[in-house]
């Protein structure tokens, strides 16, 4: 008696063929498979029970082989309409033909064995799938670890600029990356890229590309030369059918000039006061073929301009109806100003509402947002000769941020030991000046920052507050006519400049390069 | 923004009304302050502004107080203030608000 299991996918070991006859009469036979679609399969499935080979009047290679090795009776093992295997029986030892009882017994045996075989088969398949899932999960963890290890841990902190980034890997971990490279004291290299493919292979190519970019960025001053050099180095290293899209830009943080080259990556958007524009430069993705040249373009970022770099995980995300997020929606979203101007948050929130709740992220989502808050000329002469810098910071032009400025200045001058009432006066003057800068200088535009610097000499403390309203006159601090205000003949407002003048020892104002500069001076004479 | 909350609660006293101010007195306080004044003015007598719960007053808050003084002047209503820190007492002096409202030295001196 032989038990032959149905042929399976892959190279699983076959079940042992078993002979129940006395040792002297057993023969070791090679397993005989019943190929899918063999006529014997059809015969056995339609019979549903034991079939004598001699009664089959159709021929197949399998039937022929069974006859050759002396098989007389085939008992199919059928589960859920599927042929799971078959028992092959040769001559009876008694040389008698198989009786009706024999066939019934064997049929009953087969009907009990088949379900158990089916269960065993399913368990084995599940175990195999579970092992494969575990292997994939482990691989994804490694890929995610590689990526996250290589992404910047901190964002650049540059006076007059606000840099933000967002990265969220897909479950399958794509090959997105971004990087900031400090080239010198006023030039910042910015990289955003995407490796085709996912998982560990993409992560390894990402790591290689990032290293090559860093090395080339320090060697060449031109973004097009950097991309060309990386391409040459990457072509022999990258696996077949993989490539890297990448945009590389060098930002001059003093002048606002952006020089960039693009190797097939999403175009960056720049939002200005007049709308949103695309920064176009052409070039083939990295790693495809040697000898590539890359366009190099230049753009000037003015105060308040925002540059947004993205990966295709945003533009190629789908709605539940299958519609892509697309470039026009992204462009529209970049154009939309929000009160807190958290563009990363705003874009990611919009993307999530587009893909719908609980949707699995299809690809990595990467965003880099670079905002020029003030021009460098306002901060270049931050401190006069002989002054010691105590603190230098900016606040966005949002009502209420004057309290943030007050707290920071107060904390900075605290150790100088100002007498309590003098400190309170300085705080009030700072609050009023910053409030004026937010409301009048920057027109409550949250894209524009107010720059605040505190400097000290042995004689005095100077708080320098700079906004972008240099095209407007600063009115004189006239003494308000309180009687007229209470009588309703004048607006009750108009106390800010008057208060500032009364609170500090000196106030000076200037307009320079499009900026208002207000200096509040508090003498230290007599202070502890 | 945190720290920008303001509330004004009216309490009756034997001599008039007290408006208890809490939080930040700035532009945002205008509506609450005016509503409190209207409610306080339903009773006769002096209206006192209690600044014990106020942590910050800026120039737009001074404008709000000027508005209250304008309302009080229109009905010849005396207005006073107490609970001011030394710094804000000085601000009230500099701005001459103190010329149009009695500034009590401290809370105890109100009674």
Let me know if residue A32 belongs to a domain: yes
Q: Do the domain assignments include residue B27?
A: yes
**A389 lies in some domain:** yes
Chain B: residue whose CA lies nearest to A419: B87
- What's the pLDDT at A157? 85
Confidence (pLDDT) at A341: 61
Q: Are A286 and A160 contained in the same domain?
A: yes
The answer to the question of residue A355 being in a domain is: yes
Please enumerate residues of A whose Cβ is less than 8 A from a Cβ of B: 398-403, 421, 424-425, 428, 431-432, 435, 480, 482, 485-488, 491-496, 498-499, 502
Tell me, yes or no, if B64 comes closer than 8 A to chain A by beta carbon. Answer: yes
Number of domains in chain B: 1
ipTM comes to: 0.92
Does residue A131 sit within a domain? Answer: no
- Regarding whether A174 and A40 lie in a shared domain, the answer is no
Dump pLDDT digits (tens) for B37-93.
999 999 999 999 999 999 999 999 999 999 999 999 999 999 999 999 999 999 999
Q: What is the CATH number of the domain that holds A115?
A: 3.30.450
B51 domain residue, yes or no:
yes
Classify burial at A226, counting beta carbons within 10 Å of its beta carbon; exposed 0-12, middle 13-18, buried 19 or more. Answer: buried
Whether A157 and A301 map to the same domain: the answer is yes
Q: CATH no. for residue A159? A: 3.60.40.10
- Number of domains within chain A: 3
CA distance A505 to A123: 86
Q: Check whether residue A342 and residue A467 sit in a common domain.
A: no
| Residue at B1 is within a domain | no
pLDDT of the residue at A6: 40
Examine residue B4 and state whether it is found in any structural domain, yes or no: no
Q: Residue B56 and residue A498: Cβ atoms within 8 Å? A: no
Q: Are A267 and A278 in contact (CB under 8 A)?
A: yes
In a domain, A454, yes or no: yes
DSSP result, A45-61? HHH-S-EEGGG--S--H
R_g of chain A, CA atoms, integer Å: 39
Q: What is the DSSP string of B23-64?
A: EEESGGGHHHHHHHHHHHTTSSSEEEEEEEEEEEE-HHHHHH
Nearest CA in chain A to B97: A482
Separation of alpha carbons A510 and A467, rounded Å: 11
pLDDT tens for A384-424 read 556 788 899 999 999 999 999 999 999 999 888 888 889 99
Structural domain includes residue B19: yes
* A399 with B67: Cβ contact below 8 A: no
- A496 neighbourhood in chain B, CB within 8 Å: 59
Q: Would you say A259 and A298 are in contact if contact means Cβ atoms under 8 Å apart? A: yes
CATH code, domain carrying B87: 3.30.750.24
Q: Concatenated DSSP letters for A67-126? A: HHTT--EEEEEEETTEEEEEEEE---TT-PPPPHHHHHHHHHHHHHHHHHHHHHHHHHHH
Q: Collect the ranges in chain A with pLDDT lower than 50.
A: 1-24, 376-382, 528
pTM, rounded to two decimals = 0.52
Cβ contact A435–B58 (<8 Å):
yes
CB B18 within 8 A of CB B50: yes
Q: Which of A351, A372, A393 is the last residue of a domain?
A: A372
- Please identify, among A372, A395, A426, the residue that sits at the C-terminal boundary of a domain: A372
Q: Which domain holds residue A342?
A: 151-372
Does B86 contact A421 at a Cβ distance shorter than 8 Å?
Answer: yes
Cβ neighbors of A52 (< 8 A, separation 6 or more) are: A72, A73, A98
* Predicted local confidence at residue A18, as pLDDT: 38
> Does A136 map to a domain?
no
Determine the structural domain holding residue B61 and report its residue range: 13-106
pLDDT of residue A203: 86
Chain A residues with beta carbon closer than 8 angstroms to that of B67: 492
Q: Residues A206, A76: one domain?
A: no
Q: Tell me, what's the pLDDT at A526? A: 54
- A438 shares its domain with A384: yes
Distance, CA of A302 to CA of A299 (rounded, Å): 10
Residues A405 and A293 in one domain: no
How much is the pLDDT for A204? 87
**Are residues A285 and A360 both part of a single domain?**
yes
The string of pLDDT tens digits covering residues A354-370 is: 988 877 778 889 999 99
B3 touches chain A (CB under 8 A): yes
Of B3, B64, B90, the CB nearest to A403: B3
Do A387 and A503 fall within a single domain? yes
Which residues, other chains included, contact A113 with Cβ-Cβ below 8 Å and sequence gap of 6+? A77
Say if the Cβ atoms of B90 and A421 lie within 8 Å: yes
**CA A455 – CA A522 distance, rounded (Å):** 11
**Residues of chain B with C-beta less than 8 angstroms from the C-beta of A485:** 66, 70
Residue A332 within a domain: yes
Residue A187 pLDDT: 94
A190 plus A69 within the same structural domain? no
Domain boundary among A372, A389, A417: A372
For residue A224, count CB atoms less than 10 angstroms from its CB and return exposed for 0-12, middle for 13-18, buried for 19 or more: buried
């Amino acid at each position: 008696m032989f038990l032959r299991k149905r042929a399976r996918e892959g190279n699983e070991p076959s079940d042992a063929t078993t002979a129940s006859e006395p040792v002297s009469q057993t023969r070791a036979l090679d397993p005989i498979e019943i190929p899918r679609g063999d006529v014997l399969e059809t015969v056995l499935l339609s019979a549903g029970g034991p079939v004598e080979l001699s009664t089959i009047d159709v021929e197949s290679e399998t039937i022929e082989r069974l006859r050759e090795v002396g098989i007389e009776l085939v008992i199919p093992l059928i589960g859920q309409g599927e042929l799971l295997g078959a028992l092959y029986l040769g001559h009876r030892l008694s040389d008698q033909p198989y009786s009706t009882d024999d066939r019934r017994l064997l049929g009953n045996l087969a009907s009990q064995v088949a379900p158990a075989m089916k269960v065993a088969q399913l368990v084995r398949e599940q175990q195999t799938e579970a092992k494969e899932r575990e292997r994939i999960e482990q691989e994804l963890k490694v890929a995610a670890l590689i990526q996250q290890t290589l992404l910047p841990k901190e964002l650049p902190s540059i006076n007059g600029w606000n840099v933000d980034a967002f990265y969220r890997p897909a479950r399958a971990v794509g090959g997105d990356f971004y990087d900031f490279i400090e080239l010198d004291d006023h030039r910042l290299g910015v990289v955003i890229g995407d490796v085709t493919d996912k998982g560990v292979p993409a992560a390894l190519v990402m790591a290689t590309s990032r290293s090559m970019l860093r090395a080339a960025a320090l060697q060449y001053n031109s973004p097009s030369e950097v991309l060309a050099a990386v391409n040459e180095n990457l072509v022999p290293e990258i696996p077949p059918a993989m490539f890297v899209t990448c945009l590389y830009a060098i930002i001059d943080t003093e002048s606002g000039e952006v020089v960039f080259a693009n190797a097939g990556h999403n175009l960056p958007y720049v939002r200005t006061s007049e709308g949103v524009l695309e920064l176009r430069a052409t070039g083939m993705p990295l790693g495809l073929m040697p000898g590539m040249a890359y366009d190099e373009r230049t753009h000037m970022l003015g105060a308040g301009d925002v540059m947004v770099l993205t990966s295709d995980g945003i533009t190629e995300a789908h709605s539940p109806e299958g519609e892509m997020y697309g470039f026009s929606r992204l462009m529209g979203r970049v154009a939309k100003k929000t009160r807190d101007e958290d563009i990363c948050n705003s874009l990611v929130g919009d993307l999530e509402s587009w893909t719908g709740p609980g949707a699995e992220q299809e690809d990595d989502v990467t965003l880099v947002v670079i905002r020029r808050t003030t021009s460098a000329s306002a901060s270049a002469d931050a401190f006069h000769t002989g002054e010691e810098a105590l603190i230098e910071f900016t606040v966005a032009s949002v009502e209420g941020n004057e309290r943030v400025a007050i707290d920071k200045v107060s904390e900075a001058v605290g150790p100088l030991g100002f007498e309590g009432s003098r400190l309170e006066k300085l705080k009030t003057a700072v609050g009023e000046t910053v409030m004026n800068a937010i409301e009048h200088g920057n027109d409550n535009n949250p894209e524009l920052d107010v720059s605040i610097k505190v400097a000290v000499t042995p004689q005095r403390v100077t708080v320098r507050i700079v906004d972008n309203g240099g095209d407007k006159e600063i009115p004189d601090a006239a003494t308000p006519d309180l009687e007229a205000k209470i009588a309703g003949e004048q607006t009750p407002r108009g106390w800010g400049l008057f208060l500032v003048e009364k609170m500090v020892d000196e106030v000076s104002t200037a307009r320079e390069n499009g900026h208002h500069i207000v200096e509040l001076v508090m003498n230290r004479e007599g202070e502890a | 923004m945190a720290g920008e909350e303001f509330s004004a609660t009216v309490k009756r006293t034997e001599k008039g009304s007290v408006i208890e101010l809490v939080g930040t007195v700035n532009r945002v306080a205008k509506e609450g302050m005016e509503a409190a004044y209207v409610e306080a003015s339903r009773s006769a007598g002096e209206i006192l502004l209690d600044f014990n719960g106020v942590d910050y007053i800026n120039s737009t808050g001074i404008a709000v107080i000027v508005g209250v003084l304008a309302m009080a002047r229109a009905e010849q209503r005396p207005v006073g203030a107490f609970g001011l820190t030394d710094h804000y007492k000085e601000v009230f002096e500099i701005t001459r608000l103190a010329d149009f409202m009695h500034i009590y030295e401290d809370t105890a001196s109100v009674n």
